[in-house]
Amino acid sequence: MIRLRNIIYLILLIFIFPFLILCAEVPITHRKSLQLLPQSQILALSLNQYSQIIKKSKLCEDPKKLAMVKRVGMRIARATEEFLREEYPRQDRKFEWEFNLIEDDKVINAWALPGGKVAVYTGILPIARDDNGLAVVLGHEIGHVIANHGNERMSQALLTTMGGLTLSVALSKKSKKTRDIFLAAYGIGATVGFMLPYSRLQENEADRIGLILMAKAGYDPREALNFWLRMKKRGGKGKKIPEFLSTHPATETRIQNIKRLIPEALPYYLKARKG
């Protein structure tokens, strides 16, 4: 009965209330994605949840590790803003960048939220190894953000679990269920206990955008292959799957796809090197 009701809600949204459906364009791929949540509400949730997570977390005080996260993060951030200004000048994107390193060697994860709030867990640093490896991680996560994948996944999840006609109520009340769906949609599974896996399409988009962002920031996009090979090895048979792989499956198909994407990103890297 509940499933039937949700189907009816979805039909109403698509055919009777089309003005509620926001079809945003994904950068580079130009795919139109369903995004029901106003950006203002997404940003409000982002700031609120980020503040809570940071307050509850133990932040890493190792100056060398923290400096690397902030150094690479700000380079990717500047490249992201420059890319959006050049390619999408009509879009109003506002960022207040903040990069934090959470002390937890058991958590192999990183995430980026709308508005520029980004966190890296110390557990992923041994796999990243250096600035280039970390640039792969941050470029990919920020790629998900500028593609608005979180809004897309959260819209789908809220429709499925709460029904379209209660969407505005769920957002206005900011219930625990709504907050949990938000966190899960942005890959913060260590906090909510579950994650919403990205689709293959979204993963390919984030890979493609992330490679261009890191290349534009002056990091070699070819290093992405080495990073994902290390991640694949870390998530091998008999080992606990890292959180990063729970939403970002590093399969051989994916690695082959990255090989095909590198030539597109390489000119950005060569231009950044000359500059």
Residues taking part in catalysis: 141
Coil, helix or strand at residue 25: strand
Residues whose CB is less than 8 angstroms from the CB of residue 145 and which lie 6 or more positions away in sequence, other chains included: 112, 113, 114
Strands 117-121 and 98-102: parallel
Give the closest residue to 245 by CA, choosing from 145, 148, 119, 123: 123
With tokens 């709030």, the residue in question is: 117
Tell me how far apart the alpha carbons of residues 185 and 172 are, in angstroms, rounded to a whole number.
18
Handedness of CA 108, 112, 113, 118 (dihedral sign): positive
Reduce the DSSP state of residue 112 to 3 states and report it.
strand
Instruction: List own/partner pairs for 201-206 with CB under 8 A and 24 or more apart.
Output: 201/31, 202/144, 202/147, 202/149, 202/152, 202/153, 203/248, 203/249, 203/254, 204/257, 205/26, 205/28, 205/29, 205/31, 205/143, 205/147, 205/149, 206/140, 206/141, 206/143, 206/144, 206/147, 206/149
The residues, ordered by sequence, that sit 6+ positions from 112 with a Cβ below 8 Å of its Cβ are 118, 138, 141, 142, 144, 145, 186
